[in-house]
Each structure stands twice: as C-alpha cells, then as structure tokens.
Amino acid sequence: MPILKTIPTSSKKIENNVVPFSGNGYTTVSGGNLTFTTIQRSPDNGRQFSNLYSSFKLPITSNSGNTWPSIPNNSYFSGLNQSEAIVVKIAKDTYGELIDGRTIHLVIPTGYTNGATANGASGGTIDLYSSYVTEANWSSDNHTYAAGFGHSLNPTSADVGKPSTNIAFLFTDSVTNNDGNYTTPSNSCCTTWADGFPSTWSYTTGTEPSDPPVGYENGNTSFYNMSINAATRKPPVNITERGDKPVGIAYLDKGFLVITDPDIVSSFFFSGSSSGATGYPYGSQGEGSYTGMTQVTFTSSTSARCEFFTFEKEWLLSVDCVANNGEFFVTENVTASPELQNGAGGAITPVPGVYSLTGGTQNYSSYITEVGLYDSQDNLLAIAKPDRPIAKAANTTQTFTLKFKY
C-alpha cells in the first residue's frame, strides 16, 4: 500500500484559457456545412418551422415588435420584425464554444444582378457583416438590445473570454434603407461594413490571417477592433432614430444566422442551390414563392460561404503535490534492505517491505519516479511520471505540480 498524503484545497486550482478552435480559429464554411431554410411567422404555414420565430425571440405577431424588451421601435430596427426570414445553419463541428460576433462575413446568392436593385450585388452575391452596438471588444454584443435576443449582459469590463449575450447583428452595404440610400455605416469612422476585417483573409487563395483578433492572446489590434480609440476600426451600430439598419441577427453559441431584411429574403437565389430546394425558386412564381425551401445547400463557395473566427475554452486543473522535510524519503526497493550484504543498508521501518534511507551511517536520497492521485476511498485516479527520477532526501522539500487539460 502506498504512503498517502491529503492534498489541501489551497493546493488545487482550476482555471480556463480561451484558445483558437481547431488550429488558428479562422474558419470558412460552405457546401453541406452551410444550409439555408425559409421560415414564416404564421403558425398555419403547413411546415414544421413555425415555432422558430419564438425560438429566436423574433416577434410572433406584427405588433409584438413594438413591445420587444429594450429594442428601439424605430424604422431601422423594425427591419427585424418581418413575417418571413431565412435561417442559415452553420454545422456544429465547424465552430467551438462560440463564434466571435465581430468576425462574421456571410456571402449569399441573390436574384439581383449587376447591382440593378442591390448595391454591389453584381455577380449574384451579397456580403453581410456582423457588428455591435457596444463599442468594446467582447466576443458578443454586450448591449441591452442584444440581450433582448440572447443572454443577460455582463456588468464587468470587456473581455473576449467572459460570457455575454451571445448575439451580434448583421449588416450589409448592398440594400437601401427607408431614405433610399444604401445601408453603409452611418458612423464617421468607416465607409463600409467590411472595415476592420483583415485584408489577408482570401478564400480564393486559401490565405488566412496569422494573428488572432484583438482581445485574444497576441491579437492583432487592426483586426475586428470595436474600441472607440482604435486606429483601424470596425464600424459600430449607430442606434439613433436615423441610425443603421440591421438585416439580421447572429446567435453565436448556436451557430444560427437569421436574415430578416425583406429585400434580401425575397431575392435569395434558391434556384442556384445544389440540394434541398423544395418549392419554387426565386423569380419563377413571383414574390413569396420561395417559402418552401428547406435545408438548401450550395456546392460552390463563391455562391454561399461564411467566414468567422471561433474559439473554445481549455480548462486547466493544477494540483501541487508537496513532499515536505521528513516526508517521502523511504523506498520499496528491495536492494535497500539492511538484510542484503551489498544493499544500501536502509533502516527497517514499521511498514513491511519499506525501508528508510537514513539512519546510522547511511543517508541516501530516495528517487521519486511517479506521483499517484487517489480519491477518498484510496482508488488510484491518475499517475504522473517525470522525465527522470527526482532525488528526495529526508531533509529536503520537493513540489510536483500536476496539470490536467480538458
């Protein structure tokens, strides 16, 4: 039976670190990992998706948008109060604990061509970008408006590793607002919603940024920086009555993006899909004919893709195992037996088969080759082995710090 020592609570510590998911954290999702489904507010639409409005905390009646908690009832946020929407699902195994809400770039196909109705929509795609109301570097928008769709606010200082609402809002330069102007950022810091995104990220060449976003360890202050003092800044949301117009919402811990803007929804080019299209594609039966589309995918990343940075939390349990002066200087090595003529000559102890290496003319060190952790019922839970034997004399102290990553 080994000699056991109770480890005090003060010698055990649990901490967590935010680390990039699956390599460097930058991810591009397309094909079967990115699906599109139309949903309707009406519970009588004959489809199984009528409950998704309440699941996403979207208004379940046309008037309920006026009673959203803490959501402004103006012509800009009212774009989130629509009778139809498109749900974009990101495959679960492509992101970690959370998608960073500052970093989403979604490309979707559109029936608009050559910018006839949508600004910059030539080539049949529209670019959507995520942003915050809060001008601080959280991993999700720590603002009351975002909390209306997600979790509670975090009252502490900004930190990408701290929990917050798990919500971001989606914007685009490619549709018009109620004034007939294109929906570029109204904040004077920026000219496009793409500002603050790293130019080194190119899906065509497969080039990804080498640095994580600002806020993470060794983060690049030019990447996705929401700080009001940032030199290279990402555009925040202007929430005044004449402010910016969200076209959708990102649910960052669930991997869902919900597009609500009626111009984008009605022009979504389902006929270019590679699978999942059930119903009429855009343009063949008129407006509203796309409502039967379920789990639609697109083969080409040039037609539909989503880029983002994502992270996971690495949990670390540290346990300090201390062999103090007068402890753990005995051995079970039979060659230390005083009964052996050429042995170390250790003294006999009260424990059969265990020998002390001190006493008389002998003062040897024992050598620790492994440390075991046991539960309160003396069951062995784990063994740690150093890369070499560690000397432990009776009058010395040795500390072994065991670290377990999860």
pLDDT tens, the chain, 406 aa long: 567 889 999 999 998 889 999 889 999 999 999 999 888 887 776 766 667 888 998 887 766 555 555 565 555 677 788 888 999 999 999 999 999 999 999 999 886 543 444 444 444 889 999 999 999 999 999 998 899 899 999 999 999 999 999 999 999 998 876 666 668 898 888 999 999 999 888 777 778 898 999 999 999 999 999 998 888 899 998 876 667 889 999 999 999 999 998 888 888 887 767 765 544 444 333 444 555 678 888 887 778 999 999 999 888 999 999 999 888 887 777 776 555 544 555 555 667 777 777 765 566 788 899 999 999 999 999 999 999 999 988 888 999 999 988 7
Q: Are 169 and 226 in contact (CB under 8 A)?
A: no
pTM: 0.78
